[in-house]
């Protein structure tokens, strides 16, 4: 591995500022690593030529004294962010030929900030999954153990950061898809508050839950990235008109006196004992830094998965109706009539998990069942939101494991959708309540990473990053990467 690609985003920024390496050199090293680690299947598209051109432009801007803080830094985007002129597949056969005519807002913000895009990252089909095994482009391997999954749906983003194939990756989280893969790969991931980051140009799965965010090595790197991608966007009607704080400067606040709530429902007997002891270690570190802990209750959290698996498929069934073989992407060959065109294009273009969601969602929304399922699920959603409101009247942030255990083996849960859905028991409630949540490194268990989750009130991203940064300043969990462990 090149010495440049071992750096954090903040480290690369220093290297560029000092002039120790150019953006072209950094980009070349990442492209070489990406090609050396094809076995991980993290990238669907590598935009090699465009990356080198943008890096060259970034170096010229720097030479002219006009560089911003992020000019020339590498990034890769999850393949559900539309990228103009470049394949945007959403991990699906349905969009396996879709060249987007425009950039997602997140992508244009990164471009305008001078980021160099290395390519597009693998993901579960239409972001439905927890293992990256539903991708039309094949599963992603966990860099810590190629027989294990990297988590999903942002498995490509997390694995690429863990393997040091990019210092920063965009990702999305509808029910845990940033936090769970971050936990499985020993990376840091932030799912912002609903509305903090524009959804314009993010291919929709469940619009009331989807949120774009980031995966990186550290909380500090997430702060650098959040500064660029956050903010109001007229093109997204759910985008929040709330000022963006200076995330990086807030990293240095003291956390003395911070109250951390421990939701009792998340520390029950189902939690793996070794995971529990890793989390207890994190709690000890927080306490040693001056934080207090308090036990809180999220009474309705057990209902979060059932409610999510009504709401998310219902919204997906509506969102995915646009893929009809006429307007976008895959079209079946030689249909006999229009109905046959729709049926064959959708039948052949979608994978089985996507079809399962469309069927469940269509059923839940159908006349006679709407009140029993969709309306009920929305009522549960409100109760969950109230649980969080009550908890945040007693504490500043909530701390829990991100996942019940470490990464599972490839194929272990792919035939059991319910076991797969239970992967998100600690993450899904956050999305139902629209809150921000992050997952950060909590050491290794039998050579596989563990993660702890911080959840905060709406728009408390700075507080989450500040708390995680303080822990990262006194631990070295975030500095480990799979290659290093293998080389020992």
Per rule CB under 6 A, is residue 110 in the interface with ligand GLN? Answer: no
Residue 397 token pair: 């942030």
CA distance 256 to 25: 42
User: What is residue 300's three-state secondary structure?
Assistant: coil
Q: How many residues does the chain have?
A: 488
Binding piece for ligand GLN, criterion CB under 6 A, among 124-132, 241-249, 378-386, 393-401: 124-132
CB of residue 314 vs ligand GLN: minimum separation in angstroms? Answer: 12
Per rule CB under 6 A, is residue 104 in the interface with ligand GLN? Answer: no
CA distance 303 to 267: 16
Question: In the 8-state DSSP scheme, what is residue 70?
Answer: T
CB of residue 424 vs ligand GLN: minimum separation in angstroms? Answer: 5
Q: Which of 6, 22, 54, 78 is catalytic?
A: 78
Q: Which of 23, 92, 154, 177 is catalytic?
A: 177
Question: Measured from the CB atom, is 296 or 425 closer to ligand GLN?
Answer: 425
In sequence order, which ranges of 37-148 are alpha helices (DSSP H)?
A: 48-63, 105-112
Per rule CB under 6 A, is residue 303 in the interface with ligand GLN? Answer: no
Q: Of the candidates 8, 47, 132, 174, which one interacts with ligand GLN according to CB under 6 A?
A: 174
CB of residue 468 vs ligand GLN: minimum separation in angstroms? Answer: 20
Q: Of the candidates 86, 255, 291, 312, which one interacts with ligand GLN according to CB under 6 A?
A: 312
CB of residue 175 vs ligand GLN: minimum separation in angstroms? Answer: 3
Question: Measured from the CB atom, is 416 or 484 closer to ligand GLN?
Answer: 416
CA distance 139 to 225: 27
User: What is residue 109's three-state secondary structure?
Assistant: helix
Binding piece for ligand GLN, criterion CB under 6 A, among 40-48, 175-183, 376-384, 473-481: 175-183
193-212 residues in contact with ligand GLN (CB under 6 A) are 205
CB of residue 302 vs ligand GLN: minimum separation in angstroms? Answer: 17
CA distance 466 to 473: 11
Binding piece for ligand GLN, criterion CB under 6 A, among 122-130, 296-304, 383-391, 465-473: 122-130
78 assigned to active site: yes
Number of residues that bind ligand GLN (CB under 6 A): 13
User: What is residue 453's three-state secondary structure?
Assistant: strand
CB of residue 89 vs ligand GLN: minimum separation in angstroms? Answer: 15
Per rule CB under 6 A, is residue 33 in the interface with ligand GLN? Answer: no
Question: Measured from the CB atom, is 119 or 176 closer to ligand GLN?
Answer: 176
Contact 407, 448 (CB under 8 A): yes
Residue 87: phi and psi, rounded to 5, are: -50, 130
Per rule CB under 6 A, is residue 360 in the interface with ligand GLN? Answer: no
Per rule CB under 6 A, is residue 29 in the interface with ligand GLN? Answer: no
CB of residue 78 vs ligand GLN: minimum separation in angstroms? Answer: 10
Contact 121, 87 (CB under 8 A): no
Per rule CB under 6 A, is residue 438 in the interface with ligand GLN? Answer: no
Q: How far lies 169's CA from each of 76, 290, 327, in Å?
A: 5, 32, 29
Residue 405 token pair: 């255990």
191 assigned to active site: no
Binding piece for ligand GLN, criterion CB under 6 A, among 167-175, 274-282, 344-352, 466-474: 167-175
Per rule CB under 6 A, is residue 457 in the interface with ligand GLN? Answer: no
Task: Please identify which residue in the block is written with the tokens 């927890």.
Answer: 130
133-162 residues in contact with ligand GLN (CB under 6 A) are 153
CB of residue 362 vs ligand GLN: minimum separation in angstroms? Answer: 16
Q: Cβ–Cβ contacts within 10 Å for residue 311, how many?
A: 25
User: What is residue 296's three-state secondary structure?
Assistant: strand
Per rule CB under 6 A, is residue 129 in the interface with ligand GLN? Answer: yes
Q: Which of 153, 239, 317, 400 is catalytic?
A: 153
Question: Measured from the CB atom, is 49 or 415 closer to ligand GLN?
Answer: 415
Binding piece for ligand GLN, criterion CB under 6 A, among 169-177, 322-330, 365-373, 433-441: 169-177
CB of residue 129 vs ligand GLN: minimum separation in angstroms? Answer: 5
Q: Of the candidates 59, 79, 173, 265, which one interacts with ligand GLN according to CB under 6 A?
A: 173
Question: In the 8-state DSSP scheme, what is residue 151?
Answer: -
Per rule CB under 6 A, is residue 128 in the interface with ligand GLN? Answer: yes
188 assigned to active site: no
The vertex-473 CA angle with 471 and 478, nearest 5°, equals 75
User: What is residue 454's three-state secondary structure?
Assistant: strand
* Helices 105-112 + 219-229 axis angle, to 10: 100
Number of H helices, E strands in the chain: 17, 11
Question: Measured from the CB atom, is 176 or 329 closer to ligand GLN?
Answer: 176
Beta bridge partners of 43: 121
Q: How far lies 213's CA from each of 141, 220, 243, 416, in Å?
A: 22, 14, 17, 28
CB of residue 224 vs ligand GLN: minimum separation in angstroms? Answer: 23
CA distance 486 to 475: 21
Residue 4: name the closest of 22, 20, 19, 26 by CA.
26
Per rule CB under 6 A, is residue 92 in the interface with ligand GLN? Answer: no
Residue 155: phi and psi, rounded to 5, are: -65, -40
Catalytic machinery residues: 78, 153, 177
Residues that bind ligand GLN (CB under 6 A): 127-130, 153, 173-177, 205, 312, 424
């Amino acid at each position: 591995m090149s010495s440049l690609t071992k750096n954090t985003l903040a480290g690369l920024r220093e290297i560029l500022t000092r002039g120790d390496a150019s953006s072209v050199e950094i980009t070349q090293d990442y492209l070489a690593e990406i090609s050396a680690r094809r076995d991980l299947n993290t990238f669907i598209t590598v935009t090699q030529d465009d990356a080198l051109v943008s890096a060259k432009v970034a170096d010229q801007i720097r030479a002219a004294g006009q560089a911003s803080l992020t000019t020339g830094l590498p990034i890769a985007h999850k393949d559900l962010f539309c990228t103009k002129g470049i394949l945007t597949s959403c991990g699906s056969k349905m969009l396996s030929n879709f060249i987007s005519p425009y950039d997602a807002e997140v992508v244009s913000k990164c471009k305008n900030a001078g980021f160099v895009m290395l390519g597009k990252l693998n993901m579960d089909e239409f972001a439905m999954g927890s293992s990256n095994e539903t991708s039309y482009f094949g599963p992603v391997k966990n860099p810590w153990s190629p027989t294990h999954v990297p988590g999903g749906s942002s498995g490509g983003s997390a694995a690429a950061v863990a393997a040091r194939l990019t210092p920063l990756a965009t990702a999305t989280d509808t029910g845990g898809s940033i936090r769970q893969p971050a936990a499985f790969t020993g990376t840091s991931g932030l799912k912002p508050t609903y509305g903090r980051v524009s959804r314009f140009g993010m291919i929709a799965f469940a619009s009331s839950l989807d949120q774009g965010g980031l995966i990186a090595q550290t909380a500090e790197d997430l702060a650098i990235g959040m500064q660029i991608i956050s903010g109001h966007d007229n093109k997204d009607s759910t985008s929040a008109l709330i000022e963006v704080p200076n995330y990086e400067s807030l990293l240095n606040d003291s956390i003395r006196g911070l109250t951390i709530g421990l939701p009792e429902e998340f520390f029950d007997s189902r939690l793996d004992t070794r995971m529990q002891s890793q989390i207890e270690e994190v709690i000890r570190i927080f306490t040693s830094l001056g934080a207090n802990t308090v036990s809180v209750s999220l009474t309705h959290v057990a209902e979060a998965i059932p409610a999510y698996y009504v709401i998310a498929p219902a919204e997906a069934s509506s969102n995915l109706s646009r893929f009809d073989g006429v307007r976008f992407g895959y079209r079946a060959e030689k249909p006999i009539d229009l109905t046959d065109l729709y049926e064959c294009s959708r039948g052949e273009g979608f994978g089985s998990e996507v079809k399962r969601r469309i069927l469940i969602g269509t059923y839940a929304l159908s006349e006679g069942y709407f009140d029993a399922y969709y309306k009920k699920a929305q009522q549960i959603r409100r109760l969950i939101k109230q649980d969080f409101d009550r908890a945040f009247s007693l504490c500043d942030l909530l701390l829990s494991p991100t996942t019940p255990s470490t990464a599972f083996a490839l194929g272990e849960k792919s035939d059991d959708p319910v076991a797969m859905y239970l992967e998100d028991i600690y993450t899904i409630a956050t999305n139902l309540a629209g809150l921000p949540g992050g997952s950060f490194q909590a050491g290794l268990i039998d050579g596989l990473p563990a993660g702890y989750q911080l959840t905060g009130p709406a728009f408390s991203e700075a507080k989450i990053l500040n708390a995680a940064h303080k822990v990262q300043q006194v631990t070295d969990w975030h500095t480990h990467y799979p290659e290093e462990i293998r080389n020992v």
